[in-house]
Amino acid sequence: MKELFPVYSKNKDLVYLDSAASSLKPKAVIDAINDYYLNYSVNIERGVYKLALDATKRVEESRENIAKFINANPEEVIFTRGASNSLNMVALMLKRILHEGDEVIVSELEHHSSFLPWLDVKREKNIKLVFVPLTKEGKITVENFKSVLSSKTKAVCLTHVSNVLGYKTDVKEIVKLAHEVGAIVSIDGAQAIPHERVDVKELDVDFYSFSFHKMCGPTGLGILYGKKKILNSLDPVEFGGEMNDEVSKDSVTYKALPYKFETGTIPIAEIFGANATIDFLNEIGMDYIGKRGLELRNMALKELLKLKEIEVYNGSEESSVIAFNIKGVHSHDLVTALAEENVAVRAGHHCAEPLHRFLGLSATTRASFYFYNDECDVSKFIDAVKKTISFFKEVHYID
Partner 1 sequence: MTNLSNLYRQVIMDHYRNPRNKGITNAPNYVKCHLKNPSCGDMIDVESLVEDGIIKDIHHDGQGCSICCASASIMSEVIKGMKVDDAKYLIDNYLKMVSNQEYDQNVDFDELQVFDGVKDLPARVRCASISSQALLNTLKKEDETDA
Q: How far apart are CA 139 and CA 357, in angstroms?
A: 14
Q: Does residue number 376 form part of the binding site for partner 1 (CB under 8 A)?
A: no
Q: Please pick, among 157, 216, 351, 376, the residue that the annotation labels catalytic.
A: 351
Of 4 and 363, CB closest to partner 1? 363
Least separation in angstroms between residue 159's CB and partner 1 is 19
| Cα 128-131-137 angle, rounded to 5 deg | 170
Q: Does residue number 392 form part of the binding site for partner 1 (CB under 8 A)?
A: yes
Number of residues that bind partner 1 (CB under 8 A): 24
**Which position among 63, 139, 213, 356 is part of the footprint of partner 1 (CB under 8 A)?**
356
Q: Does residue number 128 form part of the binding site for partner 1 (CB under 8 A)?
A: no
Of 160 and 346, CB closest to partner 1? 346
Give me the residues paired with residue 184 across strands. 155
Give, to the nearest 10 degrees, the angle between helix 286-304 and helix 268-284.
80
Residue 376 is a catalytic residue: no
Q: How far apart are CA 173 and CA 135, in angstroms?
A: 17
Whether the Cβ atoms of residue 132 and residue 158 lie closer than 8 Å to each other = yes
In degrees and rounded to multiples of 5, residue 69 shows phi and psi of -60, -35
Least separation in angstroms between residue 36's CB and partner 1 is 32
Q: Does residue number 363 form part of the binding site for partner 1 (CB under 8 A)?
A: yes
Q: Which of 371, 98, 73, 349 is nearest to 225 (CA)?
A: 73
Whether the Cβ atoms of residue 243 and residue 262 lie closer than 8 Å to each other = yes
For residue 74, the 8-state DSSP code is: G
For residue 314, the 8-state DSSP code is: -
Helices (H), 70-132: 83-95, 112-125
Q: Does residue number 391 form part of the binding site for partner 1 (CB under 8 A)?
A: yes
Whether the Cβ atoms of residue 243 and residue 259 lie closer than 8 Å to each other = yes
**Which position among 163, 320, 331, 368 is part of the footprint of partner 1 (CB under 8 A)?**
331
Whether the Cβ atoms of residue 216 and residue 277 lie closer than 8 Å to each other = yes
Of 48 and 395, CB closest to partner 1? 395
Whether the Cβ atoms of residue 271 and residue 221 lie closer than 8 Å to each other = yes
Binding span for partner 1 by CB under 8 A among 1-9, 11-19, 337-345, 375-383:
337-345
Q: Does residue number 41 form part of the binding site for partner 1 (CB under 8 A)?
A: no
Of 129 and 351, CB closest to partner 1? 351
In degrees and rounded to multiples of 5, residue 219 shows phi and psi of -75, 165
Least separation in angstroms between residue 362's CB and partner 1 is 5
Binding span for partner 1 by CB under 8 A among 73-81, 96-104, 146-154, 386-394:
386-394
Of 340 and 375, CB closest to partner 1? 340
- CB-facing half-sphere around the CA of 342: CA atoms within 13 A: 11
Least separation in angstroms between residue 346's CB and partner 1 is 10
For residue 168, the 8-state DSSP code is: B
Of 3 and 340, CB closest to partner 1? 340
For the chain, the C-alpha Rg in angstroms (whole number) is 22
Q: Does residue number 339 form part of the binding site for partner 1 (CB under 8 A)?
A: yes
Of 230 and 363, CB closest to partner 1? 363
Binding span for partner 1 by CB under 8 A among 51-59, 213-221, 316-324, 387-395:
387-395
Q: Does residue number 6 form part of the binding site for partner 1 (CB under 8 A)?
A: no
Least separation in angstroms between residue 326's CB and partner 1 is 12
Q: How far apart are CA 83 and CA 86, in angstroms?
A: 5
Q: Interface residues with partner 1 (CB under 8 A)?
A: 329-333, 336-337, 339-341, 347-349, 353, 356, 362-363, 387-388, 391-392, 395-397
Which residues are marked as active site? 351
